Amino acid sequence: MYSAKVHQLHSAKPTIKLIERSARVIAISSGKGGVGKSSISLNLAIELSRKKNRVCIFDADTNLANINIMTGLTPLFTLQDFLTGNKPLKDILLQGPGEIEIIPAASGFMDFVRYDPRQQGKLINLVRSLEKKFDYILIDTAAGINETVVSFIKAAPETIITITTEPTSLTDAFSLLKVLKQQGFNQPVQVLVNRAPSYESAKEVLTRFSAALKKYLNLTISAPGYVLDDKNVSRSVMQQTPFILKYPESPASLCIRSFAQKITSNKSAKGSQLSDYLSEQRGFIENDDTVELDIDRPPWVNAVIDNLQSEPFDKAEQLIALLSKQWINRLESESDNKKYLDSESYRTAIRFASKLRL
């Protein structure tokens, strides 16, 4: 019997190791509103899903929440409820059309640095779980140039800029990329011309825009694409049904399919993830204990928090100023310790100090 067991062990088939899923995170943005960015995000997500991918959309346009409007969905909860209301992920994820999933109006997502350590840990763990759950995460940002939009694009390993043939769209998109470049952004961008009157006009615009990016910003376009002007797009919006489902053979749908094929063919060259960016922002080393960072705080911390909650606003503000001053003094006192200056904890302390207002 013993020899039989040994034979079974040696003849057994090797264990197949499953490859862990790691989502491609793509921010979809535009320099100005009204160029059809959210429509592109939604229909592109559905086409990627049709190619046997698991796809999630972050609706990060908290002002308009266009994804909800275009799908006719009314969310009960948002990301904010997950962070502050203890709602589980399954309660905030919406089942969207075409087998995609949606995190509606991700309010406060890039207010990450303002969260307490427990909420920061929850958000990092949430994003990491989404990166393992999905093949693609599309972030539908707000339009225009502001701190939140810039943060999303910097955080995402890939970027799609949506433009039209209108001069104002091109100018605003260039300005957005110029701001990003000034903040260290230096990766290829994917540019999609929406509502193009013809293939020839789209090609002309892409050629001019690409040349300007290369000459003045030293940026390149990695996957140019276009979507033809199509009356079925506006019809589908009125019907709250994505045009790629309602009118699958329309010109716009065929263009989305072509662009989705380019995306799937062009593998992401950047290895980092959205969760890596968030971790770097606060000097976190992710692990399952991140959300418990404030459990063992000493009693004096609780006393300070109680005073902040109970004292009049002006006195609480004075207390914060005093604490801030003491913290800055401590940082200055550590400046002679070269070993400490090279540590991650010191860099984290500096980032924290930069947020304080004395």
Per-residue confidence of the chain (358 residues) as pLDDT tens digits?
A: 434 443 433 444 444 344 455 899 999 999 999 999 999 999 999 999 999 999 999 888 766 668 888 999 988 888 778 877 778 888 889 999 999 999 886 555 666 656 667 777 777 888 888 899 999 999 998 888 888 788 888 888 999 999 999 999 999 999 999 999 998 898 889 999 999 999 999 999 999 999 999 999 999 998 899 999 999 999 999 999 999 999 999 999 999 999 999 999 887 655 567 778 777 765 533 443 433 333 455 677 777 777 777 778 777 777 877 877 776 677 666 655 555 555 555 555 555 555 554 3
In this predicted structure, what is the pLDDT of residue 227? Answer: 98
Q: Are residues 310 and 167 in the same domain?
A: no
CATH number at residue 204: 3.40.50.300
Q: Are residues 271 and 307 in the same domain?
A: no
Single residue among 232, 247, 282 that ends a domain in this structure:
282
Neighbours of 164 (CB within 10 A): 24
Beta strands in the chain (DSSP E): 24-29, 55-59, 94-95, 101-103, 136-140, 158-163, 190-196, 225-228
Single residue among 256, 282, 308 that ends a domain in this structure:
282
Report the C-alpha gap between 250 and 59 in whole angstroms.
Answer: 25
Flag whether 288 is in a domain.
Answer: no
Q: What are the backbone angles phi and psi of residue 195, rounded to the nearest 5°? A: 55, 40
Answering whether pTM is above 0.75, one says no
Secondary structure percentages of the chain, helix, strand, coil, to 5: 55, 10, 35
Q: Are residues 169 and 214 in the same domain?
A: yes
Q: Are residues 194 and 335 in the same domain?
A: no
Single residue among 282, 315, 332 that ends a domain in this structure:
282
Q: Are residues 151 and 240 in the same domain?
A: yes
- Domain with 184 in it: 24-282
> Total domain count for the chain?
2
Spatial CA neighbour of 233 closest among 42, 103, 89:
42
Q: Are residues 170 and 270 in the same domain?
A: yes
Flag whether 291 is in a domain.
Answer: no
